């Protein structure tokens, strides 16, 4: 039997203030880590634990996924999510789905489907077929942000601030279960005020990737993550013989030279946890087998770390 390990994130950005500050964010993240760890220690499989963690984060309005997702330029919420089973190296997900509580549930269901990545209309039809109740993920705070932006035709100073913070909003969960299996899930409400039809990285191998050796979830500016093919790049480097820490270090050093703005978390089959960021703050927390820790107070800028 292997030691269960968990690492999660609730986004990345310039500060913690828009999410209530250090202590509330820490409490929210640690609470999810505890629940996912307990599920794993009670025998949950990797994919089951990943979906549980993603649901908990999607249900917390503090984070930009599920309830509390940001609005796009037309005032609608469109969410994306994906999961990947490392043992089968199988990705599934939904892109720009609306009116569901937990997009991660649709992503999980598609693991066993012949069509594993559905866009807005297809995802909505799947939700109807599964009889998933219609749900409104809008919160008063997100509506207020959008209404304020509309007054200035989305050109005011506030637009830069809100879109900057929300634009890095993603949640992610990576686990190794007691059988040594890896799985990863990532979910987002988008970057806020974006052009209709914009596709984030969260339901692509750039933002969410796993095989039997490593699993990675990304957060930050989605276009930067796509340009770097970040999650798959790190996993491929581990597959080619890099340690997880070395794969993170090389990938983030390269990204920093191109002024990318993002973060990532990962786990390998040996149970090593890793994280990296080029942004100021990475909202990540983990269980290393003995202690709960987090990355909330790392110095701004490029940072890479790991726990064995």
Best CA proximity match to 293, nearest among 285, 301, 305: 285
Best CA proximity match to 104, nearest among 27, 213, 208, 216: 208
Q: Which residue blocks in 187-292 are alpha helix, DSSP H?
A: 222-228, 230-239, 244-257
Beta partners for residue 273, in sequence order: 267, 307
Can you say whether the dihedral through the CA atoms of 197, 202, 207, 210 is positive or negative?
negative
Catalytic sites, residue numbers: 170
CB 45 within 8 A of CB 202: no
Q: Write down the residue that tokens 């990962």 correspond to.
A: 266
Best CA proximity match to 94, nearest among 125, 71, 70, 63: 125
Query: Which contacts qualify for 139-147: CB closer than 8 Å, 24 or more apart?
Result: 139/61, 139/67, 139/68, 141/61, 141/68, 142/68, 142/69, 142/70, 142/71, 142/77, 143/71, 145/70, 145/71, 145/192, 146/70, 146/71, 146/75, 146/193
CB 221 within 8 A of CB 167: yes
Best CA proximity match to 9, nearest among 233, 184, 165, 192: 184
């Amino acid at each position: 039997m292997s030691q269960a390990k968990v690492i999660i994130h609730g986004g990345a950005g310039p500060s913690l203030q828009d999410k209530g500050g250090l202590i509330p964010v820490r409490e929210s993240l640690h609470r999810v880590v505890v629940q996912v760890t307990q599920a794993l220690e009670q025998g949950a499989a990797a994919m089951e634990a990943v979906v549980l963690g993603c649901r908990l984060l999607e249900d917390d309005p503090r984070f930009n996924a599920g309830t509390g997702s940001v609005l796009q330029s037309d005032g609608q919420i469109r969410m994306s999510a994906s999961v990947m089973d490392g043992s089968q190296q199988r990705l599934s997900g939904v892109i720009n789905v609306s009116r569901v509580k937990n997009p991660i549930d649709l992503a999980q269901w598609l693991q066993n489907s012949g069509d594993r990545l559905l866009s807005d209309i297809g995802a909505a039809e799947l939700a109807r077929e599964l009889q998933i109740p219609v749900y409104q993920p809008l919160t008063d705070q997100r509506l207020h942000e959008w209404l304020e932006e509309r007054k200035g035709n989305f050109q005011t100073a506030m637009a830069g601030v809100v879109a900057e913070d929300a634009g890095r909003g993603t949640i992610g969960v990576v686990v190794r279960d007691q059988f040594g299996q890896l799985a990863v899930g990532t979910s987002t409400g988008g970057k806020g005020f974006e052009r209709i039809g914009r596709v984030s990285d969260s339901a692509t191998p750039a933002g969410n990737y796993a095989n039997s050796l490593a699993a990675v979830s990304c957060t930050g500016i989605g276009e930067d993550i796509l340009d770097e093919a970040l999650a798959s790049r790190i996993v491929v480097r581990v597959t080619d013989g890099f340690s997880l820490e070395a794969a993170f270090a090389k990938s983030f050093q390269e990204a920093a030279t191109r002024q990318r703005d993002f973060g990532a978390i990962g786990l390998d089959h040996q149970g090593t946890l890793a994280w990296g960021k080029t942004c100021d703050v990475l909202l990540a927390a983990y269980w290393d087998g003995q202690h709960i820790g987090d990355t909330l107070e790392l110095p701004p800028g490029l940072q890479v770390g790991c726990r064995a």
